[in-house]
Amino acid sequence: LVVRAPQGRMLLASRLGILLSTFNAAAALAVGAALADRGFRPLLGIPHDRAIGIHLNLAVLGWLTLLIVTVGRTLTPMLSLAPAAPRRRLPLEELVLTGGLWILVAGLALGARAPMIVGALLVVGAIVVFAVMTARIGRRHRMEGLEGPLTHVVTGMFFLGQAAILGIGMLFGLDASPARLTAYVVALLVGWAGGVTLGHLGKLLSLSAWAWWPAGPRPKQAALYPRRVWLVEAIVFAVGIELLLNGVLGGSE
């Protein structure tokens, strides 16, 4: 569907970004299936813990994060009633993120720290560009107040930053304890990828309900979206993730 989309028409995301995200998702699924088959035995000579790292980063960075970056470039300003991001000749953020991811994956496969560090820094750099765009949207949005989706993106960036500090810290010699690895997964997978993805659910459901409303008078789209409820949800989610993250690091139930 992406390849056959008409040329010169506005798409929700770059074709290349969607294709790369789909490829990474397929790779993550293949590695996950191999892990399920092999159990705790090495996978193609790669120790189990590093193979788990490959699977996790392919899924969360290569699939979900890349999808958030490539779709969020259009969707975040659209839902925030902010000016659209400028047109690009090439989807550089998506290319840099994907290149960094596969350098990181190669480092994990080989057990080499240098490519892992280089790949991680490239991924972080691509996401920082997206974060700058999100900050611009936060300053220039034309909504009456903050809404759930933008709040999830902003707090998700905060969790992504914590995951980056933990991950890069462990690459530079910080002890990769089970607590730190678990906190990395909580921040990256739940706080960032899960929060930003599911945080758009209420807005998109209200838009869909409005678009598919039966013939005749229809309510305003805003009437189908309880803004305060979803804003409270985003705040409670962020507080819960931060408590969970610190509880994991502190060994507190």
Residue range 155-204, pLDDT digits in tens: 888 999 899 899 889 888 888 888 999 999 999 999 998 998 888 888 88
What's residue 240's pLDDT?
95
Assign 43 to helix, strand or coil.
strand
Residue 164 is encoded by which pair of tokens?
A: 């980056």
What's residue 100's pLDDT?
94
The yes-or-no verdict on residue 143 having pLDDT over 60 is no
**AA identity, residue 217:** P
Residue 192 is encoded by which pair of tokens?
A: 């960032």
Contact between 94 and 20 (Cβ < 8 Å): yes
Alpha carbons 58 and 64: distance in angstroms, whole number = 9
What's residue 62's pLDDT?
92
The confidence band for 138, taking pLDDT boundaries of 50, 70 and 90, is low
Residue 46: what are its φ and ψ, rounded to 5°?
-90, 125
Mean per-residue pLDDT for 244-248? 93
What's residue 145's pLDDT?
63
Alpha carbons 111 and 47: distance in angstroms, whole number = 9
What's residue 241's pLDDT?
95
Alpha carbons 28 and 33: distance in angstroms, whole number = 9
Residue 35, C-beta contacts closer than 8 angstroms, at least 6 positions apart = 43, 48, 51, 52, 55
- Torsion on CA atoms 200, 206, 207, 212, rounded to nearest 10: 140
CA of 77: how far to CAs of 39, 70, 102, 203, in Å? 44, 13, 29, 13
What's residue 86's pLDDT?
67
Residue range 93-128, pLDDT digits in tens: 889 999 999 999 999 899 888 899 999 899 989 988
What's residue 83's pLDDT?
65
Alpha carbons 80 and 230: distance in angstroms, whole number = 14
Residue range 24-77, pLDDT digits in tens: 999 999 999 998 888 888 888 888 888 888 999 999 899 988 988 888 777 777
Long-range CB pairs of 6-12, under 8 A, 24+ apart, other chains included? 11/74, 12/71, 12/74, 12/75
What's residue 81's pLDDT?
64
Of 137-146, 148-157, 237-246, the range with the lowest mean pLDDT is 137-146
CB count in 10 Å sphere of residue 86: 6
Determine the straight-line distance between the first and last CA of the chain, rounded to whole angstroms.
47
What's residue 44's pLDDT?
82
CA angle, residues 25, 195, 22, in degrees to nearest 5: 15
